[in-house]
Amino acid sequence: MKCAGAWLLLLLVGVLAGCGGEVRPAAGEPPGPAAEELGEVFDLDVELPHLVFAARSERGATLSLSVEISGRGEGRRPARLQIEQARVGGSPATITNLGGDEIEVTVAGSDWQTSRIGPLQLEGSAFEMLLRGRLSEGGHRLSGASWESQSGLEGRLDGWRRQRFLVAATDFLASGRLRVLAVARRREAIDLGAGARVSADPALSAAGAVLVINRLGFDNLQRLDPGRDFATAWQQRVGEGANPHDALVLGERGFVTRYEPPFSDLALFDPANGEIAASLPLEELAENEDGYPRPDRLALAGGKLFVGLQDIDRTFTRYADGKLAVVDPATLSLEGAVVLPGRNPGRIIVAREEGREKLFVALAGIFPGLLPQELSGGVAVVDVAGRVFERWALDDDVAGGNVADLALVSDRLAYVLVSDADYVHRVLAFDPASGTVLRTVLETRDFVPAIALSGGGVLAVPDRDYRNPGLCFYLVPRVDGEQVETGLGCLSVPLPPAALVALD
């Protein structure tokens, strides 16, 4: 837990930990099938204007497709095709794929192309199809041409990478449940179904692998398999009472922060089965009277791991300034620390600014609870190469409350989740170059645990209204500061969302 205000919740989860027995792995339980790498899904609109049909006077057809691709990056990759709809002359038509749904997609730089698709049967006509185009907007947009074998002529291809979010829904009292929610074609919110069962107090990570961090009272990691609808591939304990807070995978090495003493460390684990292999103690960096570093979030930048240290004592009433421990991931050795000019660091985002790699760090200060509210944070910018605090991108006095989470779009547009002394929660758009608030996107008295931003520009905000909990989506503006967010609607989940992570 990151704040004093959550102390009661810690006690409650500890008391009720027995309710989450199904999300505590049995000793010696072997891992399941190896987890696949997280892939990507493209939603495609295809125009075939030159197709002719013997029984119809209309010419041409349009198809709506989705292509689920295994893995990411360049090269030839297996994929699965789904034809969602075919239309001829503006009316729905029946289409049959005689060639099956298994295809290949080849990516070379920005060039994107499928293998031959089909034969397809549509209104008595048979043909094969090939799709090719160019990726833009960081690989989230696809534009190009469709080719069909009947006429040998080309049509149009438009594609959008699906923006998926993994959501853990829980009431913090019993075990929770995962759901995968998404935005297709930048306009349609879709529910992709349920995933694995998780604890009542989970965190989520998609850094190198899709992981559930089951925190205090559960104290384990779950690796999810995207190839099996995000079922559990393995689940491994990380130490009784360790309270893991974040995890990431870098090649064949995994790293997890263990928040509570006597651990208080960064642990190395095997991504194949979750077994802890080594540990880097971090107590030497703590400045509070009890010597608790409270390692929380992780980020990889400049070839080094940066570990956020909240530096809070055992009673959660004495805070030192936050820090970023700098760790060599190859040797699991401590190289130093960056002292931050604020308290309670949380989310760490890696970005480039003026050609240099920077870290944007959300510092929450002290939430009202065991102590009065203290605004001693904001969004700090750290130079990676120099390992030094550089400036404030946003001061929490300007934001008007504790900065609980952060999402960065560009050097001129970002979002923060802010909580004030009256427990009003706001999502604010701000300019990280000038440090000014641009507008309020959302204001509510319902607790908002986090926000998440996809690479394709969809902002997801949880709605924990017990009457109708869900996840709400906003398309962020493409011209920084000139436009406002476009609401894309909300999707319901069975329990209030407690954690989320963008998968795309």
Tokens coding 85: 């709809």
In the predicted structure, residue 130 carries a pLDDT above the cut 70: yes
Over the stretch 185-204, which tens digit does the pLDDT of each residue have? 999 999 999 889 999 999 99
Tokens coding 460: 């997801």
Q: Lowest-confidence range among 12-26, 386-400, 417-431?
A: 12-26
Q: What is the pLDDT of residue 26?
A: 54
Q: What is the amino acid identity at position 168?
A: A
Read off the DSSP letter of residue 341: S
Tell which wins on pLDDT, 28 or 184: 184
Distance of CA 497 to the CA centre of its chain: 14
pLDDT band of residue 97 (cuts 50, 70, 90) is very high
pTM > 0.85: yes or no: yes
pLDDT band of residue 40 (cuts 50, 70, 90) is very high
Which percentage of the chain shows pLDDT scores above 70?
93
Q: Which domains are assigned to the chain? A: 40-161 (2.40.128)
In the predicted structure, residue 7 carries a pLDDT above the cut 90: no
Burial 23-58 (b: 16+ CB within 10 A, else e): bbbeeeeebeeebeebbbbbbbbbbbeebebeeeee
pLDDT band of residue 38 (cuts 50, 70, 90) is very high
Over the stretch 243-300, which tens digit does the pLDDT of each residue have? 999 999 999 999 999 999 999 999 999 999 999 999 999 999 999 999 999 999 999 9
Pairwise CA distance, residues 399 & 274, whole Å: 39
Q: What is the pLDDT of residue 23?
A: 62
pLDDT band of residue 24 (cuts 50, 70, 90) is low
Going by C-alpha positions, the residue among 199, 238, 239 that lies closest to residue 18 is 199
Q: What is the pLDDT of residue 482?
A: 63
Pairwise CA distance, residues 435 & 393, whole Å: 5
- In sequence order, the β-bridge partners of residue 405 are 417
pLDDT band of residue 479 (cuts 50, 70, 90) is low
Report the pLDDT averaged over residues 313-326: 97
In the predicted structure, residue 18 carries a pLDDT above the cut 50: no
Instruction: Quickly list H helices, 357-492.
Output: 396-399
Report the pLDDT averaged over residues 335-352: 98
Q: What is the pLDDT of residue 16?
A: 38
